[in-house]
Chains A and B, each alone.
Chain A
Amino acid sequence: MANANEVKAKTSSAPAPPLTAMAVAAPVAGWLIPGAGHIIQKRWIRGLLLMLAVVVLFIFGLGMQGKVYAFNTGDLLDILGFLGDLGTGLLYVAARSMDWGQGAVHRATADYGTKFIIVAGLLNIVSAVDAYHIASGKKP
């Protein structure tokens, strides 16, 4: 019990990371353009690899006739799909404005494509959070 209290005291007394301009800009840039949060902090290779991973998943998802969800208040899974897709940032905006990702229910692989697009968004959010951790000094 003493150990638990010590751990709690240590974690609560840890100073909050400073809110710098980079700590705000990096996750926002990383969300809008995959990998950009790392690139603007001069983590070139990490940023390019993250960009490649997210963009490849997104493009293959569209190529497999996956569905890009629009904003909706209907089925819970559709709402979650929209939130996942939104994670791709400007890729989502581009897909919606170009009317890509209508989905093809008659194709078995289209469902994989839909999942690829959602996972691309979720991975991009993970990348943006990582960019924030680097900017705030929590991660080298």
Chain B
Amino acid sequence: MTMELSHFTAALLFALCASVVFGITQRNTTREMLRYGAYCFVLFVGGVIVAGWAMWLIKR
């Protein structure tokens, strides 16, 4: 069994799974869990996009 994921897809999957765990474990109420999980996901994906553009700028 071999899976071929692009770098971005792998980053999205990583962000999703990590955000689910962080959201559930780091907050107490369901609403706070959802908000914190979404916040972590946005930070993960946003970090990937910012790092991608930073590398593009460095390369030029």
Contact = CB atoms under 8 A, between A and B. Distances in A.
Interface of A: 46, 49-50, 52-54, 56-57, 60, 62-65, 109, 112, 116, 119-120, 123, 126-127, 129-130, 139-140
A54 B17 contact: yes
A64 B5 contact: yes
A53 B28 contact: no
Interface residues of B, number: 19
A60 B24 contact: no
B48 interface: no
Contacts of B51: none
Given A65-B2, A109-B4, A119-B18, A46 B24 contact: yes
Interface string B12-24: 0110111011101
Given A109-B4, A109-B5, A112-B5, A60 B13 contact: yes
Given A56-B17, A60-B3, A109-B10, 12 more contacts: A50-B25, A52-B20, A53-B17, A56-B13, A60-B5, A64-B2, A109-B5, A123-B17, A123-B18, A126-B21, A126-B22, A127-B21
A114 to B, nearest CB: 12
Contacts of B16: 53
Contacts of A126: 21-22, 25
Nearest to A129: B25
Nearest to A116: B14
Nearest to A46: B24
